[in-house]
Structure 1
């Protein structure tokens, strides 16, 4: 969807137009490639596991990055820096305030410590850098409550993949425990960190940590594969029908994109590739299709409709994967405040 890709008008010039058409991940990948291995590694140290994975994957995919692209990206970043108001302020204070406002005090505290104080990741944080299968193997024989704490602590998409490596009975037990989990006392969290840090390095947290709850279950369920999601939700319903209803009400699924406001849809489409969008729309309802077409130029909408018709039958698993990729982008943008998920632009809380 490069013809819709863009960036804030204030940083778009003739020299940066090529970079403005790229996604943020692609620009970042080209920028890091231009730095050289050592400098790029220093930048990556300050990024989270998901960001590293996305940028790293894009760096591996890039081919034929010509000089004009590199120059356009570099000038694009220079223009952004020129428009930043944080430069010249006390760096520590600026970073603390920025991250706290963006993420909230609880989420920002650990990240601030790692960036400003050079703190090591805790045992739990180390799991975020691991493959889901490896995490599942580590917690497989732990107490179910330990498994629930780990699943509740990790990012929702990673937690969903971890659940896929357990059988149906264990998945149900974990999700029910996550739904009933609210806070974890410092002593319990420290003990869990100590267990994990026998294998990893890091420092523990002494704060009471809020995690789990019905909203957390809904977030995880949004990423669970369709073949697992349906039977798991049915099992939860059999145990607690009201809880199942509450989870469903909090889930944001692909069909809900029709409730996102036009500005949000336009911003989302700038981050989605044409191939992924075509696959996702093959299984979308008419309301979602209409919402997408409405927020494209007439020419772009016609081309997309032609591509949809020419695509032919596709596997349901491919459609679900594409839809989940778009939903993942939408949730990331919602978390950063770029768009609002919910009817009429109202956030779902």
Structure 2
């Protein structure tokens, strides 16, 4: 007869794992155990069968140690690479690539939101080789302003065929729409994301977007002398405070609501009048008057304070984009999105 186990130190690793699995109950423990490899299942099963009786105090101690170990693991690195490696443990390579293409972007919950954020020139280049009916379906599903840009980049004869099909188009059957989405995801979006992911200039632009002016100048001035073409490419990909004025009015209003009036006053101080008016026009009359009064009261301000305020608002915009509240594309367009 096996004796009662009263000392947790007497248990080896496999036996501790067996205790934890048994303490979860048959249903939950089985769901966890079935994820183990065959040889691991055999080893844990042997330990479980040989375990005997374990005292309640030992079970409590092991569960406490187990939870404390997880609570004390420190920081976890959640990145595209770690996610891809995690998925590859239990999914096929094709399925992993399909999911990662959706995860990596462009930003958007649905395929059509993502397509609305693809550079219009890139999308037009791809679509010009598709059947006019397919192009028509795609253009009716993306945002109208984006569809207009893409349509204008197609060959003239193709534009007429696409317009004709859009006018005559009836409700698209669900199975047809699903086929188009599947093709776009597998043939276009995966390649687009893969190319975008290896764009070192885009990566550098994202990094510089998060630096202050001092560090930006420290990096860019030597770069403009050594690699002028690369410097120009990075600047084109960067999203600046001035670019915020070109966003959709609803997006600007959302950004403004998430900023303090004094921060806005500093940021708008010295800004070109047309850009300044673009921000003010998207405020309520009360808020607009308040910001104008604060701007007048500020008088002369340090360039550093203005830069810090603008950088802070940019961070707010980027956070809103990361949260899915607004969408910002590389060419500076944006659209407000509802969060469910």
- Give the shorter-chain TM-score range: 0.3 to 0.5
| The structure with more radius of gyration | 2
Q: Which has the higher contact order (CA 8 A, sep 6+)?
A: 1
TM-score using structure 2 length: 0.39
TM-score using structure 1 length: 0.38
